[in-house]
Structure 1
Amino acid sequence: MSTYIIAEAGVNHNGSMDLARDLVEVAAEAGVDAIKFQTFRSEELVAEDAPKADYQTETTDAEESQAEMLRKLELSPEQHHTIVQHCTVHDLQFLSTPFDAQSARFLVDEFDMPRVKIGSGELTNGPLLLNIARLGRPVILSTGMGTLGEVEQALSVLGYGYITDGDRPSVEELERAFASTEGQNALAQNVTVLHCVTEYPAPVEAANLRAMDTLHEAFDLPVGLSDHTEGIAVPIAAVARGATLIEKHFTLDRSLPGPDHEASLEPEELRDMVQGIRDTEAALGTARKAPTEPEWKNRPAVRKSLVATQPIDEGEDFTTDSLGVKRPGDGISPMRYWEYLGTASSRRYSEGEQIQ
């Protein structure tokens, strides 16, 4: 199955529709499956006095509040329509991460968005998780900053939302929904869990790709990676390790102002990542160990056969002095070397002649 690749534009449009359209075109040219933006209402997302994260302070005006920064990056409904239309023109799936229930409903009702991405910051936002599950769409759940227990709690809310119509679940009701066959089936049909390290950029040594194995073993759900490391090695390695979905930030230029540009791929790197992932998929092949089609023609040339290393008379016993191994490999296999030692030759051989 082909890895689903999401080019994360996020807020790298900087509020400019020209920049947003350029991002759509770059993503389409790179060959990704989808481009993803962010949908939020800043007054619902953050308090006026909320501080910025360290990486945001380093990449934007340090005197500006997080609320002020986000107001500049908030997309209006009209801007969403402009972006979605451009995605349609370029045959690219539009996705966006909602940060509140109203935004999630808007994305599904207005654009029939087929999957809803839940950001790592919302992993413990039970009310939002429940509202998103009620939309009845598949979910991509990022788990940055989370523990395994918190991931299970988030899945419990999603499972409860998929299979019930209750709106004030108790802890026991969430646990029962998660443990039920119906709940597990709903999760299996709808949820992909992404390992993520919430740092921008994330150090390669913190990537901890083996956590994908843990998530898969714990929940038996498709897993993937929302990657914030620099470069393309980690997402390609994640595909080799079993990721079914890769999400990666990209930008037109890392030197642009804004909180996420510095930790994003530039256009050529995005194309290289997509090609690297597709090459990795092709290289993975099957679990069966057998010669591939191109190898069959090479076996005679590079394998070896039993040969006479000196003249041998008819009836003379083969010895370690008279029996050797040389290319080509279209004669008797050297695996039978010991079987021939001490037996009489059925004919005369000249030096270098293949044993028959």
Structure 2
Amino acid sequence: MGTSCCGAARARATAGPGPAPPHRNRRGSGAPSAWANGRRAPPGGKANQRAAEAGLMESYARLGGLGPISAKGLMGSRQRGQRKGVVGPGTRRLGCGSARGSRGADSGRVTLSMAVEFLHELDVPFFKVGSGDTNNFPYLEKTAKKGRPMVISSGMQSMNTMHQVYQIVKPINPNFCFLQCTSAYPLQPEDVNLRVISAYQSAFPDIPIGYSGHETGIAISVAAVALGAKVVERHVTLDKTWKGSDHQASLEPKELAELVKAIRTVERAMGSPIKQLLPCEMACNEKLGKSVVAKVTIPEGTVLTLDMLTVKVGEPKGFAPEAIFDLVGQKAKTTIEEDETITEQAVENHVKKVKC
């Protein structure tokens, strides 16, 4: 699924050390911290919190067994009690920039503009634009001007808005992609609308199209890849039972590993659009492949008709079944016994007809 943009399974989990998140998350800020403001402390306190995060990082690193993925570069906005990273098809390291600052004018809060500058200074490999900011056109312009690849989600947006986004970003920064997304947590299958992937591919043929999933399980995300998604984004949590709807729609590390493995399998299975007999089929073809045989005894010199011929497994191999109509009208050079294979040596001047 490698593309000029990024192919990724986005890993999102509750954050570790860093400034405490505000008591109440703003809409669109993602999963609240499971232990922020005394809502729920992880068993064993901060020591276990750090151990859990270390385990998550180890899970990320072990995904390298499915491809050259490194834990280098993991970072994220900690003000909201969450961590974001990316792994998966087409990209080979963790870490993305997702600017989710406050929209308010309060000088004590991080603004989107400040977040973009901060992430740019950190040299993140690409910017992720969350669905809630996709129609924030000034923000899109500022982000695009940084020249980094952009992954733009489309939850809560219309096709008309996505056309506007394309027209704004494309002239500034051609290295971006759209993700089909439905902003619901957890997302029900009937609201996924994977066919939008095909609609985006038709409307925007010159950029990669992907999928951002908030459903439970991995089956729908794998199906998105089969439909041509070049980017897959999923949220990751350490515990689905933690408070906050985002955790219910997230994958635990083991599921993330299963998703990456399944995606790699589907990538291989997509194969070639050219239909032909493959080397791996030769053994089966030798055993089960059929030939044209004589349905009745055909005397020498007889002009072949369709009712004299049939198709069976026969030895030695003769004319393939698809040649049966071409044999009609040909003359038998020798007597052909019933159930005997029709071979080139048994037919005079056989010339295969070319089908138009």
- Is 1:105 the counterpart of 2:102? The answer is no
Is this contact kept in 2: 1:255–1:262, CA < 8 A? yes
- Is 1:39 the counterpart of 2:77? The answer is yes
User: How many Å separate the matches in 2 of 1:27 and 1:132?
Assistant: 27
Rate the CA distance shift 1:209–1:158 in 2: closer, same or farther, 3 A.
same
When the two structures are superposed, what TM-score results if normalisation uses the length of structure 1? 0.70
CA distances 1:171-214 after superposition (whole Å, capped 9, x unpaired) = xxxxxxxxxxxx1xx443x2111111000111111111121222
| Match for residue 7 of structure 1 among 6, 10, 14 | 10
SS at match of 2:340: coil
Q: How does 1:79-228 map to 2 (within 5 A)?
A: 92-99=93-100, 100-110=112-122, 112-159=123-170, 183=171, 186-188=172-174, 190-220=175-205, 221-228=207-214
CA distances 1:211-240 after superposition (whole Å, capped 9, x unpaired) = 122223333321111111111121111111
Gaps of 5+ in 1: 42-69, 85-90, 160-182
Q: State the number of aligned residues.
A: 287
User: How many Å separate the matches in 1 of 2:277 and 2:323?
Assistant: 21
Is this contact kept in 1: 2:200–2:209, CA < 8 A? yes
CA displacement at 1:321 relative to structure 2: 6.1
CA displacement at 1:113 relative to structure 2: 0.7
Question: Percentage identity across aligned positions?
Answer: 31
CA displacement at 1:144 relative to structure 2: 0.6
Match of 1:29 in 2: 62
SS at match of 2:339: coil
The residue type equivalent to 1:109 in the other structure is: E
Rate the CA distance shift 1:37–1:212 in 2: closer, same or farther, 3 A.
farther
Rate the CA distance shift 1:37–1:261 in 2: closer, same or farther, 3 A.
farther
Q: CA RMSD in A?
A: 3.1
The residue type equivalent to 1:212 in the other structure is: I
The residue type equivalent to 2:60 in the other structure is: A
CA distances 1:135-156 after superposition (whole Å, capped 9, x unpaired) = 2211111111011232233344
User: How many Å separate the matches in 1 of 2:138 and 2:330?
Assistant: 83
Rate the CA distance shift 1:293–1:74 in 2: closer, same or farther, 3 A.
closer
User: How many Å separate the matches in 1 of 2:289 and 2:341?
Assistant: 13
Match of 1:266 in 2: 252
Is this contact kept in 2: 1:9–1:23, CA < 8 A? no
Is this contact kept in 2: 1:94–1:113, CA < 8 A? yes
CA distances 1:239-296 after superposition (whole Å, capped 9, x unpaired) = 1111111001122331233442111122332222112211111111122222223124
Gaps of 5+ in 2: 17-32, 36-48, 87-91, 101-111, 344-356
Is this contact kept in 1: 2:144–2:173, CA < 8 A? no
User: How many Å separate the matches in 2 of 1:286 and 1:98?
Assistant: 39
Rate the CA distance shift 1:344–1:242 in 2: closer, same or farther, 3 A.
closer
- Is 1:350 the counterpart of 2:337? The answer is yes
User: How many Å separate the matches in 1 of 2:241 and 2:270?
Assistant: 36
Moved more, 195-204 or 230-239: 230-239
SS at match of 2:120: helix
When the two structures are superposed, what TM-score results if normalisation uses the length of structure 2? 0.70
The residue type equivalent to 2:319 in the other structure is: I
CA displacement at 1:316 relative to structure 2: 4.9
CA distances 1:77-100 after superposition (whole Å, capped 9, x unpaired) = xxx9xx99xxxxxx8422241112
User: How many Å separate the matches in 2 of 1:299 and 1:223?
Assistant: 39
- Is 1:292 the counterpart of 2:278? The answer is yes
